[in-house]
Amino acid sequence: MLIGIGLIALGGCANMSPTGQRALSGGAIGAAGGAVLGAVAGGSPAVGAAVGGAAGAATGALMH
């Protein structure tokens, strides 16, 4: 079941522009990293994920 969900999710990225793909992957990586750093630093993982996700999405969208 998880493989099917993953394939559907990845299939949705096929028609995205390169900028959209970079923003999405940057946001996902930033959210994961922010959650880890927030938890390790003793803060809120949710806040870390939100900040990291926003920063990652913005950086991914601006990169060429």
Q: Is residue 41 part of a domain?
A: yes
Q: Is residue 3 part of a domain?
A: no
Q: DSSP code of 64?
A: -
H and E: helices and strands count for the chain? 3, 0
| Per-residue pLDDT, 15 | 80
Q: Is residue 5 part of a domain?
A: no
Q: Is residue 50 part of a domain?
A: yes
For the chain, the domain total comes to 1
| Per-residue pLDDT, 44 | 94
| Per-residue pLDDT, 39 | 94
| Per-residue pLDDT, 49 | 94
**In which domain, by residue range, is 40 found?**
16-62
Distances (CA, A) of 1 to 4, 34, 56: 5, 28, 29
Q: Is residue 1 part of a domain?
A: no
pTM for the model: 0.75
| Per-residue pLDDT, 45 | 94
Mean pLDDT by 10 residues, the chain (64 residues): 66 79 90 94 94 94 87
What gap in Å lies between CA 63 and CA 55, rounded to an integer?
12
